[in-house]
Amino acid sequence: MRKIWLFVLGFLVFCGGVQAQSLPRKETLYVGGLQWGPPSSFNPLMAQAGAAWPNTAPTAFGSQLLYETLFVYNMLSGELEPQLAARLETPNPTTFRITLRNGTRWQDGRPLTSRDVVYTFELAKRHPVGYAPFWDYVRSVSANSPTVVTIQLNPQKPNPGLVRNYLASVTILPEHIWSQVEKTERSILQFANLNPVGSGPYKLKEYNNERIVLERDPNYWGRSVWGLPAPRYIVHPIFKSNEAGNLALEQGQVDLSQQFVPEIWKMWEQKRLPVSTWLKQPPYHLPGHLPIIFINVNKKGLDNPLVRRAIAYAINYPLIAQTAMSNYSVPVNSSLIIPEGGEKKFFDAELVRKEGWSFNPRRALEILEKELGAKKGSDGIYVLPDGTRLGPWKVQCPFGWTDWNQALEIVAANARAVGIDLRTEFPEYPVANQNMANGTFDLGLWFVSGVGPASPWQRFRDVLDGRGVPPVGQTAFWNYNRYSNPKVGELLDKAAAATSEAELKRLYGELDKIFMTDVPVIPLMYRPLEFFQYNETVWTGFPNAANPYAPPMHSGAGVRFTR
C-alpha cells in the first residue's frame, strides 16, 4: 500500500469500504463528537458559545480545516509549531516577531497578509470576543511588512505564556470580509457567517440538521508546503447521543471520533474490530482536561461556601472514575492543577491533603449539622437556620453526553444521600451552552482550559478571575458562575510575570488554596484533552503511541499536513 501526501486526520490511506449516502466513501472521512446540535452559525468568534463545527469547542486550538491559526499546539511536546506563520522570534522579553509563510492566501484568492493578522487581534479591542483578554497583556500589534507582525507585550503586565496560547487559538480572519461585517451587522458576534471564507484546506459545502460537509479546496495555499489532504470530503454527522455516535464508530460509519466511548477496549479485545485509541492499555487516553461543576455562588443557599464544601465531600469520586469514566481517569484531586504531564511540577499533594476534600459523607454531615446548624426536614433534606432549604437545585450538562450524564446522576444521588436536594437536568447542547455562558444555572458541569502553553494559569483564570466577566444574562467566556475574590487578580498577574518555577508553584499554591477554601467549583474527573479513537475499516495510518507523528488531537498540531 503506497504512502501519499495527506492530511493528519490520520497519515491516512484508503483501504476499501461501502458507499455512504451521496458522497463516495473512498474519498470521504467521517468524524464525530464535535457537533451536538443543528448548525446555525459558522462564526469562529463564537467558538465557545454556539458556532458549528469545524469552528466549535472543544477544538480550543483551532481545527485548521476552514480557518487557521498562526501556530498550532502539540500536547506531546508542549511546543508551538508553525502553521500560517513560518517562525516566531523573541528579540527581547517583551517582543514577539512573527513571520508569515510565503504565499498564504484566502479561499477567495486574496492574499493573507500581516494586515489580516493585525485586524483579527484588534477586533478584540472593539468587540467582546473570547480572546479580548489578549489586550490585557499586549501593548500593540503592528504590521512591519506584508509578511511580518510584531507584538509588543505590556511591560507592566507581561504574560508571554497566555500570548503564546492566543497565537495557537485565535483563528485569523480576512479583513476585506469582516471589516464589511462590522459596518453592516448590529453585532459581529451574531453574524451567522453561513458562507465562510477561510484560509484552510476545506470549504463549507453544505449543512443541515443531520450533517455538516466540508470539501477540499484544490487551490489551498498550503499544497506547496504539505500537499493536499487525502480525503476529498470531511463529513460530521450530527448524532443525538453518545450511543448513536459510538455505534457509528463501531460499525465503521465514523472513522475518527472525539466523544466518550465506554469500555472501548472491548471493541478490539472481544469483537475483534479494527478500532483503536492512542494507547492500547489503560488509561487508553492521555489526560489533559479537568471537567468541573460550576456552582451558582449568587443563589441563596449555594452562596454559602460551607454548603458547597458539603456537596464536595458528598461526591463519590472513585465511583465516577470507575464507572462514568470507564477507568479512563483516576479519582480526581481537589486541585485545579492536573497532577501529571507538564503541570505535575506545580501540584502540591500536601496542600490538597490539608485544605482540600475527598469522598467523605460523614464529613459532609458534620459540616451541615455542626458548622452550619442545619436541621433535617421530614423529607430528609436539610434546612439552614435562616429557613433556606438545601434545594431543589438542578445540576446540568448536555443531553447525550453519557459519561457526564452518568457522573451527574452519581453526584445527585450522593448529595441527596446526605440531605442536599440535587436533581439532574440534561438539556440539548445549545441550551446548556447558553445557560452556562449567561450564568442562568444552579450547578453545571462544563469545560475549563485544558493543558496548553498557558496552563495551569489559564485554568485558574477560567475559574477564579472575575475581571472582564459580564453580568448574568450576558455571554461570558470564563467564570460562568460570576465568582469574585479580590485577591485573585493580583496573584494571577504575579504568576503571569513569574520566571522562577519555585515562585510559580508558590503562587499557584495560593490560588489553589483560595479555590479549596471558597469552593466555587468542584472538579469531577480527569479527561483527555480530546478523545482520540478511530476505526480503520476505511482509512488507516492514524497516529498513536506506537507511531506518534502527530498528537492525539482533533485540533492544533493534530490537524496538520505531514510527509
What tens digit of pLDDT does each residue of 369-385 get?
999 999 999 999 999 99
- The Cα 249–Cα 257 span in angstroms is 7
DSSP state of 76: T
Residue found under cell 496548553:
452
The pLDDT tens digits for 487-527 are 999 999 899 888 788 999 999 999 999 999 999 999 999 98
> Is the residue at 315 inside a domain?
yes
> Is the residue at 364 inside a domain?
yes
Using a CB cutoff of 8 Å and minimum separation of 24, what contacts does 81-88 make? 81/557, 81/560, 83/560, 84/112, 84/172, 84/199, 85/167, 88/167
The pLDDT tens digits for 340-365 are 877 888 999 999 999 999 999 999 99
pLDDT reported for residue 292: 97
Rounded to 5°, the CA angle 215-182-199 comes to 25
Q: Is the pLDDT of residue 20 over 60?
A: no
> Is the residue at 67 inside a domain?
no
The pLDDT tens digits for 424-439 are 999 999 999 999 999 9
The pLDDT tens digits for 202-238 are 999 999 999 999 999 999 999 999 999 999 999 999 9
> Is the residue at 27 inside a domain?
no
Taking the CA atoms of 539, 207, 52 and 524 in sequence, report the sign of the dihedral they define. negative
Q: Where are the beta strands (DSSP E) in 240-320?
A: 256-257, 275-277, 287-289, 292-295
> Is the residue at 306 inside a domain?
yes
Indicate which CATH number applies to the domain containing 395: 3.10.105.10
- The Cα 248–Cα 239 span in angstroms is 9
CA atoms within 13 A on the CB side of 160: 14
Q: What is the mean pLDDT of residues 124-143?
A: 93
Taking the CA atoms of 371, 372, 377 and 382 in sequence, report the sign of the dihedral they define. negative
> Is the residue at 260 inside a domain?
no
Taking the CA atoms of 272, 275, 279 and 282 in sequence, report the sign of the dihedral they define. negative
Domain residues for 331? 287-528
Q: Which of 6-10, 335-339, 352-356 has the lowest mean pLDDT?
A: 6-10
The pLDDT tens digits for 135-161 are 989 999 999 999 999 999 999 888 898
Cell numbers standing for residue 41: 452559525
Q: Is the pLDDT of residue 392 over 90?
A: yes
Measuring CA to CA, which residue among 410, 403, 401, 462 is closest to residue 429? Answer: 401
> Is the residue at 138 inside a domain?
no
pLDDT reported for residue 51: 87
Cell numbers standing for residue 388: 433556606
How many structural domains compose the chain?
1
Q: Is the pLDDT of residue 291 over 90?
A: yes
State the chain's mean pLDDT as an integer.
92
> Is the residue at 61 inside a domain?
no
| Backbone phi, psi, residue 39, to 5° | -75, 140
- The Cα 520–Cα 403 span in angstroms is 23
